[in-house]
Amino acid sequence: MTYQTTLSGPALCAGVGLHTGERARLAFKPAEANTGIVFVRTDVSSAERVIIADGRHVTTTQLGTTLANEDGVSVSTVEHLVAACAGVGLDNVIVEIDGPEVPIMDGSSTLYCQLLMQAGLRQLPALRRRIRILKPVEVRDGGKYARLVPSEVAGGPMEMRIRIDFPSAAIGEQVCRFTLSPGAFSESLAFARTFGFANDVEKLQAMGLARGGSMENAIVLDGDNILNPEGLRADDEFVRHKMLDAVGDLHLAGAFIEGIFEADQPGHAINNRLVRALFDNRDAWEWTTDRPASQVRAAAARVSSGPVARAQI
């Protein structure tokens, strides 16, 4: 049996948002069992500043995943942080943030993984909840698709199989298979950075996006060329980052998934559509417990103190 986890103590970091360009400070704090991942906007005076990391609370998926609560208080670009939580096996955490966007750090999940592991994990006296896929659930968008199907191994970790294909010769067709087992995320996916094309920058900035983007936190391409002087961290870093994003987006289902994820040309929009389709098909999955919003808000007010892990970029 696997028990739920939380942090052994608090952790701090700070950085700049990819799209807003605004600096934000994060404080990760231990949480009770069945809390899940919860964001608290400390810069908002409203009493309703708690934002639950739940796929049904996703409001936008344009170049990132944004969560919001019923009062319209939001936090954006959450996917790399949520992926790190899933990757290190962290079930319950309060994330206090004093700005509207999660810092992009170096464009990957590496620093978040390192910070969480430095703070340490401890077990809680409650069994980990899992979502077991019972029958296939699929969404399509033209030639793109994403699906969840039952696992071939009962009780095993989520398996992931995705394909991407870009006209740029620097990317081309790439395929990745991955199993979300202990330690695998930090070793195989966490380092993979987000990427974009230089000729899109002006258009994105006119839309209020990519204001904090640079070659310090993204792979930048110009046609078939990679502009970053250090090059790639892996030949298939692009598809690995798409897999990283999918880990974060799928974990917004609220628990670890026992099943197989397959996708062609995945992105935040289709990933979230799949999570919503899963919730809508109640006979396609099962789990043993759920958590009421009142319990989550109460848990957000009761956080632990202790040694603090710190990181900044």
DSSP string, 139-208: EEETTEEEEEE--SSTTPPPEEEEEEE-SSTTT-EEEEEEE--TTHHHHHTTTPPPEEEGGGHHHHHHTT
pLDDT value of residue 79: 98
**Helices 79-88 + 110-119 axis angle, to 10:** 50
Catalytic residue among 19, 80, 241, 268: 268
**Which residue in 82, 56, 85, 87 sits closest to 158, CA to CA?**
87
With beta carbons less than 8 A apart as the criterion, state whether 87 and 180 touch: yes
The neighbouring-strand residues paired with 262 are 147, 161
The alpha carbons of the chain give a radius of gyration, in whole angstroms, of 18
Beta bridge partners of 137: 148
Q: Where exactly are the structural domains of the chain?
A: 3-128+289-312, 131-286
Using an 8 Å Cβ cutoff, are 212 and 105 in contact? no
Position of tokens 């969480």?
Answer: 116
- For residue 211, the model assigns a pLDDT of 81
CB atoms near residue 269 (< 10 Å): 18
- The Cα–Cα gap between 45 and 47 comes to 6
CATH of domain 3-128+289-312: 3.30.230.20
CA distance 264 to 262: 7
Active site residue 268: yes
**pLDDT digits (tens), the chain, 313 positions:** 689 999 999 999 999 999 899 999 999 999 999 999 999 999 998 778 999 999 999 999 998 999 999 999 999 999 999 999 999 999 999 999 999 999 999 999 999 999 999 999 999 999 998 999 999 999 999 999 999 999 988 778 999 999 999 999 999 999 999 999 889 999 999 999 999 999 887 777 777 777 888 899 999 999 999 999 999 999 999 999 999 999 999 999 999 999 999 999 999 999 999 999 999 999 999 976 645 555 555 655 554 444 555 555 4
CATH topology of domain 131-286: lpxc deacetylase, domain 1 (3.30.1700)
Of 95, 239, 77, residue with least CA distance to 171? 239
Burial class of residue 120 in the structure, from the number of CB atoms within 10 Å of its CB (0-12 exposed, 13-18 middle, 19+ buried)? middle
